[in-house]
Amino acid sequence: MLTARVSSPTQVTIERTSATAASPQFRWIVVEFDPSKIGSIQHGSVSVSNNTSTSPKTVAISTIDPSSSLLIFQSRPGASTINETAVAGNISSPTQIKFYKYKTNGYADVEWYVIDFGYGSAQRGMLDKTSYTDPTWGRADATLSPSVYTKRMTMFFHSLACDQTNDYIPRSLTTAELASTSHLIIRRYHIKNYSNIEWQVLEFPYTPPTLAADLNKDGRVDLLDFAILGGQWQQAPSEPSADIAPLGGDSVVNFFDLGVMTQHWLGNITP
């Protein structure tokens, strides 16, 4: 298991704890955010060793707004035991993130990023699969409240701590799926082992597209709009204005404006 970090303006560093044995293949992605478009982005590295859910490793961060922020991270375990490959983490306050394993033995090194997008609506929670009835979980369900609109831009990220000091990979490896507007499912194939599952969902606000020729703003470009344009034909615009061309208007309603309406004709704005 590997970690990645942007180590300089021109370099990405991929690391693992042991350089022997398996030969990995990996792909990497670097996303550069426009600083004027997001709230903030922070990065750091931390070692998680004897930290459990009751004594997590805490990391101080610069103040963020948790309602618009995501914590994403990767860990490289010190050994191939479930406990060390499974690190859970969350944003525990506007100035703190925390990480933990299920047991105190071993360690994992974590590379983390906290992105405060500056907008959006985040929710997060922990699914407790630590009781005696739950080690056989193959699926864990988180309920989202309020519900999110899945057709919009919605990001989610999860992590988990997992029991066992032996080599039982891949029991700790899981996927997350946004199954409906209010339902996040975490799944794994290989059951057994208790877990704490930390999840986060961030929904970005939706700005509906606009059609300039939808003069009466009812979501369609049709005869109602055409009638408004006709009423202002070869005149100065009135309200609502049919002066939609050239961009910014030219104080007269003429063939330029009709041309844009023709392009948008019978267009629907659907969310």
Point out which residues bind Ca ion (CB under 5 A): 214, 216, 218, 220, 225, 243, 250, 257
Smaller CB separation from Ca ion, 44 or 219: 219
CB 126 within 8 A of CB 90: yes
Cβ-based nearer residue to Ca ion, 138 or 240:
240
What is the side-by-side order of every strand in the sheet holding 40-48?
40-48, 108-116, 69-77
Min dist. Cβ of residue 267 to Ca ion (A): 9
Q: Which two tokens stand for residue 162?
A: 């997992």
Least gap, CB of 232 to Ca ion (angstroms)? 9
CB 149 to Ca ion: min, Å: 24
Looking at residue 241, the DSSP 8-state letter turns out to be: P
Q: Which is nearer to Ca ion, 203 or 214 (CB)?
A: 214
Q: Which is nearer to Ca ion, 15 or 222 (CB)?
A: 222
Q: How far is the CB of 216 from Ca ion (least distance, A)?
A: 5
Query: In the bound complex, what is the minimum distance in angstroms from residue 270's beta carbon to Ca ion?
Result: 14
Edge-first strand listing for the sheet containing 195-203: 121-129, 195-203, 154-162
Q: Nearer to Ca ion by C-beta: 149 or 255? A: 255
CA distance 6 to 45: 12
Cis ω for the linkage preceding 209 (within 30 of 0) = no
| Packing angle of the helix pair 223-231, 255-264 (nearest 10 deg) | 180
